[in-house]
Structure 1
Amino acid sequence: MGWILIILAALSEIIGVVGLRFYSQHKTLRNLMLYIGGFGVSFALLYASFNYLQLSIAYVVWVGIGTVGAVLVNIIFFGESKNLSRIISIIAIIIGVAGLKAVS
């Protein structure tokens, strides 16, 4: 159950990041709610995951998935740079999170 909560929390964080991007461009109530709602749900789900997982593992996985997801969404949908350094950095984050999970 804890892993499901972390995945949902990370997906909500990505929604919050998209909302933040939209809100920074167009200050509408819809974009504000997407931004605040995404991050709010994300924090609530992260907090709930602490009942099942160690805080250190849950937090790192949440940050890793959220970071990689936000970068990929911005590359795919918003035309951000996809240079080799960014791709290598994304791979390093994935390896780090997977390695931490493997040893826990």
Structure 2
Amino acid sequence: MGWLCVLTAAFCEVAGVVGLNRFTERKTLRNALWFIGGFAASFGLLYASFQYLQLSVAYTVWIGLGTSLAVIVNMLLFGESRSPLRLFSLALIIVGVTGLKAVS
């Protein structure tokens, strides 16, 4: 149950990031709801995951997964840079989170 909360929290964080990006471009109620709702749900689900997982593990996976997904979504939807150095840095985040989980 804890991992499901963390995974869902990461996807909600991505919804919040997309909402933030859209809200920055166009201030509508819909974009504000995506922005605020996505981050609120993300924090709520992360908090719920602490019932089942160690805080350090849940938080690390949430940050790494959320950041990685947000970067990928922004590359695909908003045309952000796909430079080799950026992709390498993204891979380092994924390797780092996986390593921390493996030794926890």
Q: TM-score, normalised by structure 1?
A: 0.98
**CA deviations over 1:43-95 (Å, ceiling 9, x no partner):** 00000000001101110100001100110001011111100111001100000
- For residue 66 of structure 2, what is the aligned residue in structure 1? 66
CA RMSD between the two structures: 0.5
CA distance in 1 between partners of 2:39 and 2:4 (Å): 17
Q: 4+ residue runs of structure 1 moved beyond 4 angstroms? A: none
| Mapping 1:1-104, distance limit 5 Å | 1-104=1-104
CA distance in 2 between partners of 1:9 and 1:80 (Å): 23
**CA deviations over 1:4-60 (Å, ceiling 9, x no partner):** 100000000000000000000000000000000000000000000000011011101
CA distance in 2 between partners of 1:16 and 1:35 (Å): 4
CA distance in 2 between partners of 1:35 and 1:76 (Å): 18
Identity %: 58
CA distance in 2 between partners of 1:55 and 1:15 (Å): 23
Q: Which residue identity lines up with residue 12 of structure 2 in the other structure?
A: S
Which consecutive unaligned segments of at least 5 residues does structure 1 have? Answer: none
Q: Which residue identity lines up with residue 14 of structure 1 in the other structure?
A: V
